Structure 1
């Protein structure tokens, strides 16, 4: 279970850094590494969202 928590925190940090860069210098790292609407970028965004939901549930329970 500890590995899932660590992975979740890592994905949340990646998402937070990405949004910070988007807000500050309009640079989206995920879109820079992969094409804008590619399946890989959608998977990355989905995993970050799932990690956020998991962390919310983890903190509540």
Structure 2
């Protein structure tokens, strides 16, 4: 594998889950702005939880 293919993808995971949380938050924005903030934080937290599993998987393969 080249060095470019072995890039760390953790920022992609955190950014992707943050954007998913933001999208879900926009759906619930009309109900409550607090739900939007909560879904954004859940997206960031979910990304931070997934990153260690992703790095462990990439090390073994």
Q: Indicate whether the TM-score tops 0.5.
A: no
Which interval holds the TM-score relative to the shorter structure?
A: 0.3 to 0.5
Q: Give the TM-score, by structure 2 length.
A: 0.43
Which of 1 and 2 has greater Rg? 2
Higher helix share: 1
Q: Give the TM-score, by structure 1 length.
A: 0.43
